Structure 1
Amino acid sequence: MSKYSYRVRIRGKYATAISKLALDLGYTIVQASDVIINRFNINVNNSAPDVTIKDSERVPGALTIMGKCGAVNDVVTNLLRVVEEEALVWRSVVPLHRVVMGIVNVVDSNYFVDVGNGVKAILKAPGGAYNDGDVIPVVISRTRVYPGDELVAVPGVRVDTEYVSIVPGSGTVLFSRHIKDYEVRQALLKVGLKYVGRLSGYSIKWRSSAQFLNESEAVKEIERAINMLNEVELASKSSAPHTVLQDGECITEVMLNGRAKLLLDNVRNNVMPTIIGHHTYKTLRRNTALLDLVEALLGHCNDRAGFSAEFMRQLMSRRYRVGIVHVKPNGEVIRLGNADVLKPDPNDIVLMRRLRGGGHLDGLGLPKEEGDMAISCSAIGNEYLIHVYVDHAWRPKGIYININTPIEFTGGNILYIDLAVDVIKRWDSNEARVIDYDEYVSYVSMGVIPNRLRVRVEKLVGDLLASAHRLGEECLNKARELAE
């Protein structure tokens, strides 16, 4: 049970499962959809949320959890307890929209700013002339969640309430993209225009929760925000370096693996009939009419496991080509292209991809020539994917075994999260070897790869080193037989 009854807004494909968990943990669900209100028989509550949980816009199947830092940390802790550490987690280095007294650092005419705890951001200061060591208030305009993200700050201050933001700008009234109702926008515009002229160098932006305010509430909210702005501006004139003037919003990305999704399938099944694989099937799909129909039938079936397995077999048996979606631990999504399906069996998948010439085969250092093919073998739920590289005459060149989270089948794609470390072997070599182990260790040391996954990975590495050639031969022989 959560220590605090935070207000949680939940959106996306996991809404039913996460809502069930949230209610069980003692959270209050706000701004719920009509479906969730009816499904859980809860009261309408359009209060502003402390935290929002939604589908990630960056990584297929991941969750974005954002809001007040204490609420985000509480929700993430409790959610991960439920999914038994079957997730990779990235947290924002600095809360978004934090206002902090930063120390300017000038390097070769480029501006940076030290925002505390040894963290430096790029300082976007067009036309600004700052000296090295200047202490100025800055706003974190772009935070770093995944390693490749830029951390960016801009000079000045801003304030954010649950309903309205006052931001540096040219004196306009702006709206969250989630405020779509014309009459609501007009009413908020009317209120905003009464005040924006008094704010030299600032704009007013209505946040999504403002759509539930009446006019008098909107007026009170803007007046509260203006008072906050005056306090922050005053504090910025005398505060010490690294003083936080506004905390901002923490952002956490939770990359759920196949096992985590199955756990959430089971949570959802406690609310309504849910096929095993529900959340995987919805990962890359917008049209879920077939899934809705199948789950309506599931309600009249006593064998959920058998029904689910047959549904997967039927889906897979109708595929002649599938995509391979390779998600790296750092959030990068790589689509390896489409593969011919030689064997569409969930327990024995055999795929073939034709490679373009040029460059080298990953990890093996061998030339990639026109006519080369990649033969891939695995099974749904496997934590590794075998690739055997062959030339145009099916002569083997080498083996590359990708270590990953359990293989998922979304209905049109093979999906997994790569765990960085791999086992490779040239066909003519006597020994297999491990590559990218340092990268894997870096993710472990950062706490991104949880202990439960670490234990499985390190055992798997040892097993695969001993069996790489045998697994490669078995994969190649199956493919040859199927292709004849």
Structure 2
Amino acid sequence: MTAVRIRGIYTTALTRLLRQDGLEVVQPSPPIRERFEDGLDTVPADVRIDTSRDRQGVSVSGDPDGVEAVAARLADAGIDAFRWDDPIPEGAVFDCEVLEAGGGGGATVDLGDGRRGYLPYDAVSGYVGDGDRYRVQVRESASPWGDDRARVEPGFSVGDGLCSLSRDRSGISAAVGGERGEELVGLTELLSIEVPEGWGLRWERAAADADLEAMGEAVADAGDRARELEATLADAPDEPGDPALLAEPEGTVWCWFGRESRFALDDSRCAVTATMAGHHRIKAGSSAASSAVDFAEAVCGGGGEFPFGAVAGQFGPEAGDRIALGHGKPDGRLITLGTGTVTDWSGDGSVSLEREMTAGGTYDALEVPIERGDVAVTKLREGRWWYPTTYRDSEGVAKGTYVNVCTPVELFPDCARYVDLYVDVIRRADGSVAVVDREELAEAVADGLVDEELAEKARNVASAVERALS
């Protein structure tokens, strides 16, 4: 049975979902242990689930077969959930070459086959210059929709959540302080398992709740992983060579949750503990909102309707705010279509966004020039599967309207977020209406980027918008 460790804002909901599918959730945090009565042991984990930095989704890393089983379940969380395999998974070992050094806190490195990573300067001894080569391991992967690069560092380590082995350490230590940390170090002598030569052992914080049997299992598991990594790298040259992948002991998959998926996760969480409507939607939009959501649930319990007006009034967006159009693509990329000013706002979840356009080129599909003084007026509504943008010239005359069909819009404090579904509807200045980019949607389905259920929803939405505009 695959053992999964979960951390972040989706933990309770995902714990319930995965346990329903027969997966074992381990190393629970204190709140999770309180919410689930049994079956949550502090033992080594095969797979790790961590919430992304922007709280939009999660990473799933670990044993490749286990990762695939977990990611497949998460991708079924809702109609607007997406998953992507990471070409730079956690734990992978690369030979790399420095491409850009000199500024900031690290250098961009070439990992081979078009892959790029980020090497922190403080992880390397001595000066780092363009063209320098290193053998590195991926410490932290990066979401496909974000701007960060995977963080890589020299040296090798392996772990299972309870303990880690590292070639950069020696002896035995503990991340836990005080008497419990000293106890963990002392108990290690009672284990009848040897740490591989050249590797240092550190007990992680979760080990504070582990018994002696689990500790022994953790060291044995980490030792097996260390020996497997050494065997994989045995034939590699002593010095780093051309940028290339040398070892890939683990897999990493990224899952992004859309609005409907977040509300489905609310339902899963609600079966376990008091959960207000929009729990995950609110927490995904602002880290500052997490404590407010927890307080509201503690005082008022769960249920109700999603309080968009109250949430936007406290955290944004409101009239006068500037927000970006976060145009996600089904292949995982995030494209910002521009940033505009909220000119109109309604507590029911509707906003109008105004952007000044830069002259040059033409408006997609409308085939009219973008001229100086043009203004784009975008009307967004929380939860709607489409949104219109009307382009006007300097005199206020409409040059056409472009309706984007997408996953349900989420209006976060600094960004309107959705995933584009390719097919769109246009209304030209002469009043003619047309559905465009059907072929692109069909190609995305054929490529496995959009499943047929979601594609059919997009086609139906486009047809409904076309009828409304005709």
- TM-score where L is the length of structure 1: 0.68
- CA pair 174-37 structure 1, distance change in 2 beyond 3 A: same
State the alpha-carbon separation in 2 of the partners of residues 441 and 38 from structure 1: 47
Tell me the CA shift for residue 36 of structure 1.
Answer: 1.1
- Partner SS, residue 47 of structure 1: coil
Q: What residue is the counterpart of 2:57 in the other structure?
A: 62
2:385 paired with 1:383: yes
The residue number in structure 1 matching 2:409 is 407
Q: Does 336-345 or 280-289 show the bigger shift?
A: 336-345
Deviation, 1:63, is 1.9
Q: Do 1:354 and 1:371's aligned partners in 2 also have CA atoms closer than 8 Å?
A: no
Instruction: Answer yes or no: is the 8 Å Cα contact 2:18–2:73 preserved in 1.
Output: no
Cα 1:17–1:112 change in 2 (3 A) is closer
Aligned to 1:480: none
CA contact (8 A) 1:378 1:386 kept: yes
TM-aligned CA deviation for residue 352 of structure 1: 3.3
More displaced 10-residue stretch of structure 1: 362-371 or 47-56 = 362-371
Counterpart for residue 458 of structure 2: 457
The residue aligned with 1:332 is 334
Please tell me the root mean square deviation across aligned C-alpha atoms, in Å: 4.9
Describe the superposition over 1:59-109 as per-residue Cα deviations: whole angstroms up to 9, x where unpaired.
65222112111111111223334x244312112347544579x9xxxxxxx
Distance verdict in 2 for CA 1:112–1:328, change over 3 Å = closer
Counterpart position of 2:265: 264
Give distance in 2, aligned partners of 1:179 and 1:18. Answer: 27
Query: Is the partner of 2:65 in helix, strand or coil?
Result: helix
For residues 79 and 435 of structure 2, the distance between their equivalents in structure 1, rounded to whole angstroms, comes to 28
Partner residue, 2:68 = 73
Q: Tell me how far 1:44 sits from its aligned partner.
A: 6.3
In 2: Cα distance, 1:97 partner to 1:299 partner: 41
Matched, 1:308 2:305: yes
**What's 1:423 paired with?**
425
How many residues of Structure 1 are paired with residues of Structure 2 in the alignment? 419
Counterpart of 1:53 (choices 42, 49, 68) is 49
Structure 1 residue 19, shift from structure 2 partner: 1.6
Identical-pair percentage = 21
Structure 2 counterpart of 1:251, one-letter code: T
Could you say what secondary structure the match of 1:308 adopts?
coil
Quote the residue 1:320 is aligned against: 319
Q: Which position in structure 2 is the counterpart of 1:164?
A: 164
Q: Deviations over 1:324-379 (max 9, x none)?
A: 442412232527324324241536x2403131543346414544445432222243
Per the alignment, residue 104 of structure 2 pairs with: none
Distance of aligned partners of 1:196 and 1:227 in 2 relative to their CA distance in 1, 3 Å threshold = closer
Question: Are residues 1:28 and 2:24 paired?
Answer: yes
Instruction: Output the CA distance in 1 between the equivalents of 2:87 and 2:402.
Output: 34
Deviation at 1:145, TM superposition (A): 7.3
Tell me the residue number matched to 2:84: 90
| CA–CA distance in structure 1, aligned partners of residues 171 and 374 of structure 2 | 54
For residues 105-134 of structure 1, what are the alpha-carbon distances to aligned partners after superposition, in whole Å with 9 as ceiling and x for unaligned?
Answer: xxxxxx997xxxxx8878999678xxxxxx
Unaligned runs of 5+ in 1: 103-110, 114-118, 129-136, 238-243, 471-484
Q: After TM superposition, give the deviation of residue 189 of structure 1 in Å.
A: 11
Letter in 2 for 1:34: P
Contact 1:9 1:52 in 2 (8 A): yes
1:9 aligns to 2:2 (yes or no)? no
- Partner of 1:292, secondary structure, is helix
- 1:432 alignment partner in structure 2: 434
Distance 1:62 1:140 in 2: 20
Distance 1:41 1:198, change over 3 A: closer
Closer/same/farther in 2, CA of residues 98 and 255 from structure 1, 3 Å limit: same
Which is worse superposed, 394-403 or 316-325? 316-325
Pairwise CA distance, 1:11: 1.2
Whether the 8 Å contact between 1:62 and 1:253 is mirrored in structure 2 is yes
Shift of 1:9: 1.1
Q: Which moved more, 1:158-167 or 1:375-384?
A: 158-167
Greater displacement, 391-400 / 251-260: 391-400
Distance verdict in 2 for CA 1:143–1:448, change over 3 Å: farther
Query: Aligned ranges for residues 366-377 of structure 1 at < 5 Å?
Result: 366-377=368-379
Report the more deviating stretch, 224-233 or 281-290: 224-233
Shift of 1:420: 3.5
Q: Secondary structure at the match of 1:282?
A: helix
Distance 1:60 1:361, change over 3 A: farther
Matched residue SS, 1:432: strand
Q: How many Å separate the matches in 1 of 2:266 and 2:206?
A: 33
